[in-house]
Homo-oligomer: A and B are copies of this chain.
Amino acid sequence: MSDLPKSVEFHEEGPREGFQIESKVYPAAERAALIDALSQSRLPQIQVGSFVNPRAVPGMADTPAVFEALTRAPGIAYTALWLNEKGFRRAADMPGITLNGTLMFYTTDRFSLRNNNCTAAEMRDRQRRMLAVYDEYGVPLVAANIITAFGCSYEGEVPLSRVTGIVDHIVDLCRETGRKLPVIYLADTVGRANPEEVRRRIGAVRDRVPEAEIGVHLHDTRGLGGANLYAALQMGVRYIDSSIAGLGGCPFARHGNAQGAGNICTEDMVFMCEEMGIATGIDLDALIEAAQLAERIIGRRLTGKIMHYGRPARLEDRA
């Protein structure tokens, strides 16, 4: 009836997503302490910060200091976000960074203009240049992100054909340059997906490119994040972006409220997977402790649930 994977890989985005939207800039030492706590949980990948325009995202300007301050644990990839060549070259200088070659595509011009100051078509062209830069550094192409894959906060609904059009382009680009297909991520950047649409769009991508590995980047803007992830898991998705304690949000996603809504919450979603018998390789208790640290750092109640209510009682807890 469904096609749940046996195991999944969570990629933690909280240290970037969570702090980029705050009006206050949090000290690098505090963000490094959170990353160290996350490392204790054996999350396979943690995004440390971003190399983007410091005027647009001042909270990430000192990402190099976080890379300096954190304690690396074996088996964990410490990654960063960049949106262009300049950002990538800065990231490449970081000590101990894992450089995951990533391509970025937009389904709408208005979102692309806000995020990258170029149209979606221009952004598509720039990705060829990024591939050449990755080659220069010997960096493998690991991920292709389709941003606003389920709709845009400026342009509203996005036809499925724009998503499959980008997928076709990614396939062509890889064929042309003799590369293996990267994981294709469908991003619900502004939180307007619903579970049926998640199934439909992932299904369409799978039909188009049966050999593609698919990932999801979901926001819980309207309370459907968990249901959307369950729908994605039913379609066999194995790669999941999430944020500890539900931290974060895109600073350019227009909402009724100035404060953006966060990604799906790592520890709640790890709990969901583990309860369904999907292996994550993560120590949930350590993850919950990291979520509680995130709340102390941010200084207000965060939206994660299990961090506040605890794991369910087990048989051995019976009095």
Which A residues form the contact surface with B (CB < 8 A)? 1-2, 4, 151-157, 190-192, 194-197, 199, 220-227, 229-231, 254-257, 261, 265, 268-269, 271-272, 275-277, 301, 303-306, 308-319
Contact = CB atoms under 8 A, between A and B. Distances in A.
Given A194-B272, A230-B231, 5 more contacts: A4-B196, A151-B312, A153-B312, A227-B229, A256-B309
Nearest to A246: B223
Contacts of A319: 154
A259 to B, nearest CB: 8
Nearest to A267: B223
Copies of this protein in the complex: 2
A153 B313 contact: yes
A150 to B, nearest CB: 10
Given A227-B227, A314-B157, A221 B256 contact: no
10 contacts: A151-B312, A155-B318, A156-B312, A194-B275, A195-B272, A196-B275, A221-B305, A222-B272, A224-B271, A261-B305
Given A195-B276, A272-B194, A314 B156 contact: yes
A302 to B, nearest CB: 11
A222 B306 contact: yes
Contacts of A222: 268, 271-272, 305-306, 309, 311-312
Nearest to A151: B312
A275 B231 CA distance: 14
Contacts of A4: 196
Contacts of A305: 220-223, 261
Which of A195, A199, A257 has the most CB atoms of chain B within a 10 A radius of its CB?
A195
Given A261-B309, A309-B257, A223 B317 contact: no
A106 to B, nearest CB: 16
Contacts of A277: 196
B229 A156 contact: no
Nearest to A194: B275
A227 B272 CA distance: 9
A241 to B, nearest CB: 16
A223 B313 contact: no
Contacts of A312: 151, 153, 156, 190-192, 222
Which of A151, A194, A222, A261 has the most CB atoms of chain B within a 10 A radius of its CB?
A222
A25 to B, nearest CB: 24
A261 to B, nearest CB: 5
A271 B223 contact: yes
A26 to B, nearest CB: 21
A294 to B, nearest CB: 15
Given A195-B276, A276-B194, A313-B152, A223 B268 contact: yes
